[in-house]
Amino acid sequence: MLRVDAGGGSETNINWILNRDYGLLIKIHNWQRVMKLITSVTHWYTDPHVPGRQVGWVEVPYAYAQVTRQVALRKLKPNGKWLHQVLVFNLTKEVLFDLAGQPMPQPCTQSEELFAALAAYDQRGGGAETQNKGDKQGLRLAHRNKHSFVAQEILVLLAQLAHNLLIWTRNDLARADDTFAHYGIQRMVRDVLQIPGCVQLDTTGQVVRITLHPSHPLAAKVQPTLLERPATDEM
């Protein structure tokens, strides 16, 4: 099941997903289509959880590659105008309530199913967007653009390597102290990698000792993870 925001809600993407029999909950990207679809909404229900937001069934849905149901939502902007959006999905009531983390009432009214669809969409994680933002801020990707395509490709590969190394390090640290489980790329670079210290190598280039400055607030938390590594491990 794919739950996608409007950035992926083009007609081509929606039909591609539907033709491959995925479950779908996606926001339409085409704002002109949105404005046409909302004209068929006959009743708007006020969202009890989000002030100024209303939802309603699209009575004349757009015909995609397979049958879908479509929900219109509108939110009142500070200037007093409505911001309109439309969700497209092919999920059953049971799946919607399951995704929303709510028990399905018996019987289930139209408004209850509407709010379940909205809650299910609101539950999307946004993991990819968060990761991209963390990499841009932590690895300062926007400050290292190259004019050459090949150089830019190498830069992207190096960024992937840096990202993975930081995540692996974060996961190792989290096993010793769960404080690190919530650290993103930016905090890893800004806080953990800024601990002053010294790395001692033997004649073959292997790490034999890592000394962290005890005054740093994270030094004591990082130390147990370093002690777990064999002296012959490459760091």
Three state DSSP letters for 75-135: EECCCCCEEEEEEEECCCHHHHHHHHCCCCCCCCCHHHHHHHHHHHHHCCCCHHHHHHHHH
Domain boundaries, the chain: 2-125, 126-194, 195-235
> Per DSSP, what are the bridge partners of residue 209?
200
Sign, CA torsion 39/40/45/47? negative
Q: Helices 127-138 and 149-176, interaxial angle, to 10°?
A: 100
Per-residue pLDDT at 230: 53
Handedness of CA 181, 186, 191, 192 (dihedral sign): positive
Global pTM reads 0.56
Q: What is the pLDDT of residue 233?
A: 45
Q: Which of 94, 39, 88, 98 is nearest to 68 (CA)?
A: 88
pLDDT at 83: 92
Residue among 210, 232, 206 nearest 223 (CA): 210
What local confidence, expressed as pLDDT, does residue 69 receive? 95
pLDDT averages per 10-residue partition of the chain, 235 residues: 86 94 93 94 89 92 95 91 94 90 88 90 65 68 77 87 90 88 87 90 89 90 75 43
What was the pLDDT predicted at 2? 87
Could you tell me which residues come within 8 angstroms of residue 157 by beta carbon, excluding any fewer than 6 positions away?
none
> For position 128, what pLDDT does the model report?
53
- Which residues 6+ apart lie within 8 Å of 105 measured at CB? 112
d(CA 74, CA 72): 7
pLDDT for res 229:
55
Q: Where are the beta strands (DSSP E) in the chain?
A: 2-4, 24-27, 45-46, 53-57, 69-76, 82-89, 197-201, 207-212
Strand partners, 71: 57, 87
51-96 residue pLDDT tens: 889 999 999 999 999 999 999 999 988 888 999 999 999 999 899 9
pLDDT of residue 232: 45
Q: Report how far residue 5's alpha carbon sits from residue 16's, in angstroms, rounded to the nearest whole number.
A: 16
C-alpha span between 176 and 223 (Å, rounded): 9
